[in-house]
Amino acid sequence: MSVLISLVGRPNVGKSSLFNRLLRRSAALVDDRPGVTRDRHYAPLSINGRRGLLVDTGGFDFSDLDPLAGPITAQIKAAMDQSDLVVLVTDGIVGLHPQDAELAELIRRSGRPSAVCVNKIDGPNRAPAAAEFYALGLTPVLPVSAAHGFGLEALRELLADNLEPEDDYDSLAEAAPPRVAVIGRPNAGKSSLINRLCGEERLVVNERPGTTRDTIDVEIQRGNRKYVLVDTAGVRRKGRVSEKLEKLSVMRAIKGIEGSDVAILVIDALEGASDQDAHIAGYAHERGRPLIVLINKWDAVKDRFDKRKDIQREMDLKMVFLDRAPFMTVSALTGAGLTRLWPAIDRIMDQYRFRASTSAVNRVIEKATEAHTPPQVGRVRLKFFYATQVSSGPPTFVIFVNRPESVHFSYRRFLANRLRQAFGLELVPVKLRLRDRHETGDSGRSPKKTLKTGPVAVEGVSDIFYGPPDDDLDDAGCQQGLDLNEQLEPGRRPDQNNRRAQNEPDGHSDRLSPRKEPAQGGVKVRPSKRPPTAPATGSALKKDSAEKKRLTKKSSVNSKSPTGSARSVGPKRPNSSKTGQKGTKKLSNTKNQKKGSPTSRAKKAAPKASQ
C-alpha cells in the first residue's frame, strides 16, 4: 500500500487550495464559501522522485448546526486512521482557534506522525504570527501561503521525507483500471450506489439534493480487477442553475465524464426518465462514452410491470441514441440487481479497448461497398481506397476516399454499422472518419494533376478520364473530333457523337457538361475549361452596327458601277435617298430574281455545294 498523507482542519482554512498547490493542478473544487469539500478526495502526489497519495478532507466542525457535520467528521476520522502523516492546516489570519485545539487532541490520540501548517502567511513579515500555534503541541510548525506559494519548499521537503521512491512503483506498474463515471440528476442515488458497491460509507449521503459537489474517485478491488468509480454532482437544467458553486460543480461533472471510460446513468424510478436525463446522457454520448442505464430505487416501486413499460417507452422517445445501452433495474438501498453490473462493465470495456488489424478492416469495408455501391456524386463516383483503425477507447476507424465531403451521412452510418456488426461492437459507439488520401492545400481540396490521354492533356482531380485513341483520327480529325467542346458521351460510339454534333447549329456541341454516367463502363473526355467565344454584346454591337452603316453610306455615294448601280458593300439594303433611279430599278430586279428565278436559286445553292 502506498504512503498516504492527509490534510485536516477547520472549514475555510485553505485545505483544498493547499491540496491543489501541492499537486500543481486544479484537482479539488475551491470557493470562498466554507464547507465546499465534504468527501475524502484522493490524488497521487510526486515530489523529488518520491511518490504517495495526498488526501483532502472536509472542514472539521463540532457544532450541530450543520446536518452534514456528523458524516463529514466520520470521513475525517477515517482519513486519519489510514494516514502515515497527518498535516493540520490552520488559519494564520484568524489565529489560534478552540476547534484547532480539539482537532490537535484527536491527532495526538490517533498516534500518527503529524505537522502543523499555518496557512495565509503571505510573506516573511507575517511569519511571526505562526508562533502561537506551538501551543497545540504538534511539531513542526510551518508558515505557508497556498495562494502565493510562500513557504511551500519547506513543506515539500517535509512531505518528501515521508514518501516512497518511485522505483518501488515501477516494479508494480500495470494497466490503468477502467474509470466508470456515475452521472444523473440530483438526489437520484449516485453516492448511495457507490457506497453499496464499495461495501462502506465512502461518500457523504443525505436526503437533501446537491450533497455531492465535487468529482470523487473511489477505487474498488473486485477479484483480480480494479475499478475506479467517479462520483459526480447532480446536474440540473441550465435555467435553474444560478449559483457560481453549482455551475462549477456541473462543469466538473462534465469533466469527469470526459476522463472516464464508461458512464452509468442513474435514473430515479419514482420520477421516471425525464428530458434532463436524456440531456445528461447526451453529454456522454457526444464524447464517445458507452452508457449503462440503471433505474434506481426499484424497491420503492409498487406496480413494477407497468412502471418498467412506462420507463422503457419514455426512453425510446427521449433517448433514441441509447438503443444499444444495457438497461437494469436496481436498488442501491438493498443491493438488488447490482450483481449484473460488473459483468456488463467488463463486456463493455473489452469492446471499448478493441483493436482490429488493417487487413480485417479493409475486408469489411470491401464487402460493404460491394453489397451497397457508393452513390455517384455529380460526375464522379465515390471511391474508397483503404481503411484502418487508428485508436481505441472508443474504436476509431479512418477510411480514405476520393471525396470525403461528398459522402452522405446515411452511407457513413451504414459503414459504421457494418464495422460494428463485423467486430461485435454493439455496446460501444464507433467513430468513423473519412479523409482524402492526397495532401490538401490551403483551399482544402486535393492538388490537381494532368493526365495525358493520347494527343490531348486532360486535367483531373481524382478520377482518370480517357480521350479517343490516336490511330482512329488524322490531323483533320484531331482538330475537329477532338475539340474539347465536343463531348464523347458514355455508351456511344464516336460516329454517333459526330452525327449528333452535326445537328447542332455550329457543327459541334456547345454543351460543357456531359450527360450522366452509365452504371457500368463508358468512356468520356473531360470537358475543356476554355470558355466558349461569347457573342459581342452591349457597346460592341452598337459599334459594329454604326461601322456597317457608315461603310454602306460611303459605298453607295462614291462607288458606283458603269451602269450607275451601287456596289453591294455591307448589307444589301438600298438607300433610296442616295442611289439613282437606275440603281433602284436594278435592285428591284434583284429582288424579283430572289423570289423565284432559276438564276437566283442556282446562286443560292452554290455555297452549300462548296461547303
Mean pLDDT of the chain: 78
pLDDT at 609 over 80: no
Query: 174 versus 52: which is more confidently predicted?
Result: 52
CATH superfamily of 358-435: K homology (KH) domain (3.30.300.20)
pLDDT digits (tens, 9 = 90+) for 471-526: 333 333 333 333 333 333 444 444 444 444 444 444 444 433 444 444 444 444 45
pLDDT at 570 over 60: no
Whole-number pLDDT of residue 323: 80
Closest by Cα among 37, 53, 57, 55 to 45: 53
Question: Measured between alpha carbons, how far is residue 103 from residues 117, 138, 532, 585 in Å?
Answer: 13, 11, 93, 133
pLDDT digits (tens, 9 = 90+) for 46-94: 998 899 999 999 998 877 677 888 899 999 999 999 999 999 999 999 9
pLDDT at 249 over 70: yes
CB 578 within 8 A of CB 560: no
pLDDT digits (tens, 9 = 90+) for 546-557: 666 676 665 555
pLDDT digits (tens, 9 = 90+) for 176-190: 899 999 999 999 999
Whole-number pLDDT of residue 544: 63
What are the boundaries of each domain within the chain? 4-170, 179-352, 358-435, 448-527, 539-610
Confidence of residue 334 (pLDDT cuts 50, 70, 90): very high
Rounded to whole angstroms, the Cα distance separating 85 from 107 reads 10
Lowest average pLDDT, out of 2-6, 324-328, 502-506, goes to 502-506
Q: Alpha-carbon Rg of the chain, whole angstroms?
A: 43
Confidence of residue 376 (pLDDT cuts 50, 70, 90): confident
Count CA within 13 A, CB hemisphere, residue 116.
25
Lowest average pLDDT, out of 280-294, 390-404, 447-461, goes to 447-461
Confidence of residue 467 (pLDDT cuts 50, 70, 90): very low
Closest by Cα among 241, 304, 233 to 266: 233
Whole-number pLDDT of residue 316: 87
CB 310 within 8 A of CB 281: no
* Residue in this structure with the C-alpha cell 515521508, named with its chain if needed: 162
Q: What is the 3-state secondary structure (H, E, C) of 377-389?
A: ECCEECCEEEEEE
pLDDT at 293 over 70: yes
Rounded to whole angstroms, the Cα distance separating 236 from 243 reads 12
Give mean pLDDT, residues 153-161. 93
Other beta carbons within 10 angstroms of residue 389's beta carbon come to 20
End-to-end CA distance of the chain: 103
Rounded to whole angstroms, the Cα distance separating 121 from 139 reads 18
Torsion sign across C-alpha atoms 22, 24, 26, 32: positive
Fold match between 4-170 and 179-352? yes
Question: Which set of grid coordinates corresponds to residue 250?
Answer: 456541473
Length of the chain in terms of residues written: 611
pLDDT digits (tens, 9 = 90+) for 383-442: 899 899 999 989 999 999 988 888 988 999 999 999 999 999 999 999 999 998 774 433
pLDDT digits (tens, 9 = 90+) for 8-40: 999 999 999 999 999 999 999 998 888 899 999
Query: 445 versus 293: which is more confidently predicted?
Result: 293
Q: Where are the beta strands (DSSP E) in 4-146?
A: 4-9, 41-47, 50-56, 85-91, 114-119, 141-143
Confidence of residue 454 (pLDDT cuts 50, 70, 90): very low
Percent of the chain with pLDDT over 70: 70
Whole-number pLDDT of residue 277: 94
Region 179-352: CATH code: 3.40.50.300
Region 4-170: CATH code: 3.40.50.300
CB 76 within 8 A of CB 58: yes
Query: Beta strand 50-56 with 4-9: parallel, antiparallel or unpaired?
Result: parallel
pLDDT at 569 over 70: no
Whole-number pLDDT of residue 15: 95
Closest by Cα among 74, 354, 57, 44 to 228: 44
Percent of the chain with pLDDT over 90: 52
pLDDT at 229 over 70: yes
> In sequence order, what are the residues at sequence separation of 6 or more whose Cβ sits closer than 8 angstroms to the Cβ of residue 305?
none
Query: Beta strand 114-119 with 141-143: parallel, antiparallel or unpaired?
Result: parallel
